[in-house]
Amino acid sequence: MAAFPKEIFLARQKKLASAMKRGGFEAFLVTSLVNVRYLGGFKCSYGRMLFAGGQGYLLLDSRYTAAARRAAAGVEVVEITASTIDDKVREILQSHKLRRLAFEKSAVTHAEFLDLRAKLRGITLLPSEGLVEDLRIIKHEKEVAAIHRACRLGDRAFKHILGVIRPGITERQVSAALDSFMMSLEVDGLAFESIVASGPRGAFPHAVPSSRKIQNGDLVTLDFGVCLDGYNSDMTRTVAAGKPGGRTVQLYRAVQRAQAEALAAARPGMRASDLDAVARAALDKDGFGKYFTHGLGHGVGLEVHEAPRIGAFSKAVLKKGMIITVEPGVYVEGLTGARIEDTAVVTADGAQALTHSPKKLITL
């Protein structure tokens, strides 16, 4: 993130200004810290951004102001405390003679809203949705490169963990080995809590690693990622610890086919719901459709889960520069489950996986 040139942030702020204009917003308060980071290139645990009168303001407390004056792009850094932040917002609005303020309705708690309303008496608060998220959905080539770097580390972690998984080891031991390997790659952190689900526990899509010992013939689903320079990777592979049974192999192959067909079908102009349908139809053909109980995927960027949603009810249309996951899964209670997930970039004429680990069934 720090490596991005200043121009990238200035371009984002310019796009935001256009989006504000389209929405009829003369001033806009950013409370989502991910959006603050996206727009100004500065990471903090408390702070806000205000755009008013063609100027961006970054409101931070004294822990951050010195660093932000060096690192933040295109904005004026204003020192605040938690008790003066709303007064500062009011002062800035008054200095520009503005009486209406848009805020991020999904990134303000009820308590924060009441404070704002009390301190900004006389100023109309306008709820807004997705102003910055809609910009984040299309990635700059430098963002794609950053996510690709994170994905490559995911691939390295997968290769490493293949040497660890064997019958007799517990899911927790596998996740500890996976997590410590990922952390050893000098990343910002894990993208999320790794999922390791073996045998019948594979039927739970979001299984937390348990003390269960992996048995001979089990499928083991591994869903993991790293955060590097602010950007995340997300991948899932399912492997076998010893030779699996016939029905289990069928189940795996169905997921593998569905994943390959969906990845091959993705292209700009396609509805996200139609892409979801491609995977669902492939699984239906193999008799596993009813066991695919979640959406096909999601956007990835500064957050592991961000827009667009790829599912039956998604209204999104794929566009060049989007980063999405393609992750069909089959979960048969009492038997097992499998999921295969790539993070991919939508290109001019298709989609290209950024995670490159093999997808044929690996038997350890």
Determine, following the binding rule CB under 5 A, whether residue 234 of this chain makes contact with Zn ion: yes
Determine, following the binding rule CB under 5 A, whether residue 232 of this chain makes contact with Zn ion: no
In the complex, the smallest distance separating the C-beta of residue 314 from Zn ion, rounded to whole angstroms, is: 14
Interface region with Zn ion, contact rule CB under 5 A, candidates 55-63, 208-216, 277-285, 340-348: 340-348
- The footprint of Zn ion on this chain (CB under 5 A) covers a number of residues equal to 5
In the complex, the smallest distance separating the C-beta of residue 284 from Zn ion, rounded to whole angstroms, is: 22
Rounded Cα–Cα distance for residues 218 and 251 (Å): 13
In the complex, the smallest distance separating the C-beta of residue 327 from Zn ion, rounded to whole angstroms, is: 5
x/- mask, Zn ion, residues 45-84, rule CB under 5 A, reads ----------------------------------------
| Of 306, 220, 309, 241, nearest in space to 38 by CA | 306
| Burial (Cβ within 10 Å: 0-12, 13-18, ≥19) of residue 192 | middle
- Residue closer to Zn ion by CB (options 1, 324) is 324
- Residue closer to Zn ion by CB (options 199, 297) is 297
In the complex, the smallest distance separating the C-beta of residue 27 from Zn ion, rounded to whole angstroms, is: 36
Interface region with Zn ion, contact rule CB under 5 A, candidates 43-51, 233-241, 249-257, 269-277: 233-241
| Residue keyed to tokens 């984002």 | 12
In the complex, the smallest distance separating the C-beta of residue 1 from Zn ion, rounded to whole angstroms, is: 21
- Residue closer to Zn ion by CB (options 104, 223) is 223
| Contact status, residue 355 vs residue 150, Cβ threshold 8 Å | no
In the complex, the smallest distance separating the C-beta of residue 300 from Zn ion, rounded to whole angstroms, is: 7
- Residue closer to Zn ion by CB (options 86, 303) is 303
| Contact status, residue 329 vs residue 339, Cβ threshold 8 Å | yes
Determine, following the binding rule CB under 5 A, whether residue 223 of this chain makes contact with Zn ion: yes
Site of interaction with Zn ion (CB under 5 A): 223, 234, 236, 325, 341
